[in-house]
Structure 1
Amino acid sequence: MNARQQSILQMVIDKGRMSVADLARMTGVSEVTIRQDLNLLEKQSYLRRTHGFAVPLDSEDVETRMMTHFALKRELATFAASLVSPGETVFIENGSSNALLARVLSEQKDVTIITVSSYIAHLLKETPGEVILLGGIYQKKSESMVGPLTRQYIQQVHFSKAFIGIDGWQNDTGFTGRDMMRTDVVNAVLDKECEAIVLSDSSKFGMVHPYPFDAANKVSRVITDDGLSAENQIQLQRTGLTVNIVKRP
């Protein structure tokens, strides 16, 4: 994916729908070139084409999700990184905000990062810090390790903080995930004696998915943005959670 195609994908993700004509005007190339770019991006499962338009996918691909609200997720990651001290060992679960957190930590601090995300491990391949990638069944779309082997590996390592992503939260259901095996990995992490921190943009709050996190009295903090409703913030705090609100850029 070249720089122009990255720009096209970002615009489609941000707007939700972009016409070929608008993309050509905003990038300064012909509509023929835009159609070629869109064909490539669709073939690589980054977006979907409709008649005269391009629309984003609800993708499991971490890189695609990272580009959605990139500036906001970078602010969330920067705040989360401020909670980690040099010399700490932390677990970072899969997800776009977590991937950005891993990159910030690797650039700023002497931190050992344990992860189940092959995407995060690859992202940090040129960094000086130590990265421990746990094994298991490889989920190709999410680029994450899952399954009973992953659970066993989690039991064999120790970390002071764990940063996890969520797919949904409602007051009556708590934190939920849309993938059973990835949720099982998160629950294995929550069984550890560590400070568990949810790192997620506010769009996930108010949604519900099939698989519950065993988070009662295990998650201590939520880091999200100021799109979180006041009602949801109060409900989260009533359960004993510290809620850190990051201002959207």
Structure 2
Amino acid sequence: MQNPINQRQQQILDRMAIDGEVKMAELKEIFEVTEMTLRRDMEKLEQWGHIRRTFGGAILVGNDITLHERSGVFIEEKMRIGKLAAQLIQPGESIFLDGGSTTLQVARFIQANLNITVVTNALNIAAELQGKQISTIVIGGMLMGQTSTLVGPVAAEALVKMAFNRAFIGTTGLTLKHGFSNSNMHEAEVKRLAIQQASEVNIVMDHSKFGRQDLFSFASLKAADRVITDQCPEQELDEAFKEQSVEILASI
């Protein structure tokens, strides 16, 4: 039996189909209803699998979000994060960039002709670096078509033989209880191994990931040295980061 979506809920979905996301403040102005009413709408839409709630709003999801779909959500925020993250990279370093729409922005802001080596499991990141005269190594593995990433035993075997000065890792969720998480177990394993092989771990994430939990946890809060984001997290999470000596770098 199909879930009964009312007119207001359908209008919310229609807006999200265009923009990929909505903000609660905008919906309150449009529909002139209470925040509690909108929250109930959002809860039902999330329960039925149409959306995923975020801090202050929601994003449109399917059963699995493709890289193309994710690249269009919070693009300005991800660009700021990528620019900030790329500024940390120093000449002579070995860098790991995993697949994702935010790590792609890191690659885009890496200075051309910089004397570094970048290792990645993402074909689109390798393509982004092509022409920048940057030494780039693409690890092998099974291709995940929706995310353009290489995963599996071959990728794992390559990673454990390497050591990185810095790793830049994306995440689709972060909670106090489960740490950093991802919706795909194969990608989560690559992230876990890259973190183990890195001297410094940088998690790059926009604010919508705060408070979201996906199925596969790949690292605890203390596994990160730094979180690079576009907004500071709420007080409880901010205090937890401080307790674990995790630096928050926000491109506000």
TM bucket (normalised to shorter chain) is 0.7 to 0.9
* Equivalent of residue 13 in structure 1, options 11, 19, 39: 19
* Whole-angstrom distance in 2 between the partners of 1:15 and 1:179: 22
* Equivalent of residue 206 in structure 1, options 202, 211, 232: 211
RMSD: 2.5
* Whole-angstrom distance in 2 between the partners of 1:235 and 1:144: 31
* Equivalent of residue 229 in structure 2, options 224, 232, 237: 224
Deviation at 1:72, TM superposition (A): 1.3
Alignment of 1:113-192 (within 5 A): 113-192=118-197
Residue in 2 that maps onto 1:3: none
Is this contact kept in 1: 2:103–2:170, CA < 8 A?
Answer: yes
Superposed CA offset, 1:199-248 (max 9, x none): 0001001011111113464321111122632332222222221111211x
Tell me the percent identity: 23
Residue in 1 that maps onto 2:41: none
Alignment of 1:21-32 (within 5 A): none
Is this contact kept in 1: 2:170–2:205, CA < 8 A?
Answer: yes
* Equivalent of residue 92 in structure 1, options 92, 97, 100: 97
1:81 matches 2:86: yes
Consecutive unaligned residues in structure 2, runs of 5 or more: 1-15, 23-58
* Whole-angstrom distance in 2 between the partners of 1:205 and 1:131: 31
Q: How many residues are aligned here?
A: 202
Is this contact kept in 2: 1:12–1:56, CA < 8 A?
Answer: no
Consecutive unaligned residues in structure 1, runs of 5 or more: 1-9, 17-54
**11 and 100 in structure 1: CA distance in 2 versus 1, 3 angstrom threshold:** farther
**174 and 145 in structure 1: CA distance in 2 versus 1, 3 angstrom threshold:** same
Q: TM-score, normalised by structure 2?
A: 0.73
Please identify, of 89-98 and 59-68, the stretch whose mean Cα deviation from structure 2 is larger: 59-68
AA of the residue aligned to 2:149? S
Is this contact kept in 1: 2:21–2:73, CA < 8 A?
Answer: no
* Whole-angstrom distance in 2 between the partners of 1:216 and 1:238: 10
